[in-house]
Structure 1
């Protein structure tokens, strides 16, 4: 079993008196009763990813924010701070198996920011990541059945909320399907797509529950 502590890297970066860029990076740190060495390796994986993201914030994104802010040195109208936020959600944590997703929200001006999701499922006995194929062997037939399942779920959603998915959602599901875009829940498996893959921004990140009966 795993217990989780939240770790955070954060800062507000200024140009003069203007807070032009704010970042907050949350990531998990695990203690396990399964394999301590595996937990240490997984913790290092997330710590290094957080440090890499922080470096990108400080060396690339801040410069972009400062470049735009310099045109309003008096901060009038007030500069809308650019932001980078990483959050995570533990979706399954039983025995030596833990699954989670991480959402990275980036706002660099404009009407709204964008969120990108990644996910990991870990075996804390081995320290290895598990893939979709470990739960559902992706043969031609099973992949077809899976995508047909997603099509049917979208069709039902459109009856309730017309326009919540693109008209060509069926072909987009096939073209943008990513076998790494999944996470576990106690009730089963969730497949997700990125913003704009199969639906407009207002729909957010489309998620689909998949039962073991596929």
Structure 2
């Protein structure tokens, strides 16, 4: 198990004294006593936060200034752009550290967009563990996960708890990715991008698959 604290990189980007972009990136900082593994993991997330801040300053800020100027000229209300990163640790046990982080951007209009990423690490080495490592050798885990997702979505539709696009079985197959997963104590969880298989208000669709196979 790793000790986890929170790192943060935040700023309010302004133009003529007015906030154009609020940027707030929170990321995990791990400590296990294994300096090499800790360094790999911490450098990875620190680099992501720095890259997001660079994007906020070099891309979002100029776009927000243009939007602000247009709103002033046309007497429209202006809402500052946003860039946010938040993470959730889903498993931190033994040699496995798994988490996901959401990058949210609002760049005008009615809604922002959230993009999720999942990472699963071997704590002792600081290297990634792949999805296939959580299944017995020779198992067609892609088929199992896709079939489980389709059955789960069908049940959720019947129960009225979630909505999916009409051709969701085809979309679940099309947009499946072996990199979009994280681990919970008893589950492998796969997820899909917002708008990929369901309306935007559904957020990030997730599907749990029970497994006791631990690498």
TM-score band by shorter chain is over 0.9
Q: Is the Cα contact below 8 Å between 1:65 and 1:108 reproduced in 2?
A: yes
Say yes or no: does 1:12 pair with 2:48: no
2:42 corresponds to which residue? 43
Report the TM-score when normalising by structure 2. 0.92
Q: Is the Cα contact below 8 Å between 2:88 and 2:100 reproduced in 1?
A: yes
Provide, for residues 21-66 of structure 1, a one-character-per-residue CA deviation record: whole Å limited to 9, x for no partner: 1110111111014x22111111111111111111111111111101
Structure 2: gaps spanning 5 or more residues: none
Say yes or no: does 1:195 pair with 2:194: yes
Deviation at 1:94, TM superposition (A): 0.6
Number of corresponding residues: 213
Structure 1 outlier segments of 4+, above 3 Å = 72-78, 137-142
Deviation at 1:70, TM superposition (A): 1.6
* Change over 3 Å in CA distance of 1:177–1:86 after alignment to 2: same
Q: CA RMSD in A?
A: 2.1
* Change over 3 Å in CA distance of 1:55–1:62 after alignment to 2: same
1:21 corresponds to which residue? 21
Deviation at 1:75, TM superposition (A): 10
Q: Is the Cα contact below 8 Å between 2:67 and 2:78 reproduced in 1?
A: no
Structure 1: gaps spanning 5 or more residues: none
* Change over 3 Å in CA distance of 1:190–1:71 after alignment to 2: same
Provide, for residues 46-91 of structure 1, a one-character-per-residue CA deviation record: whole Å limited to 9, x for no partner: 1111111111111111111011112344995442010000000011
Report the TM-score when normalising by structure 1. 0.92
1:116 corresponds to which residue? 115
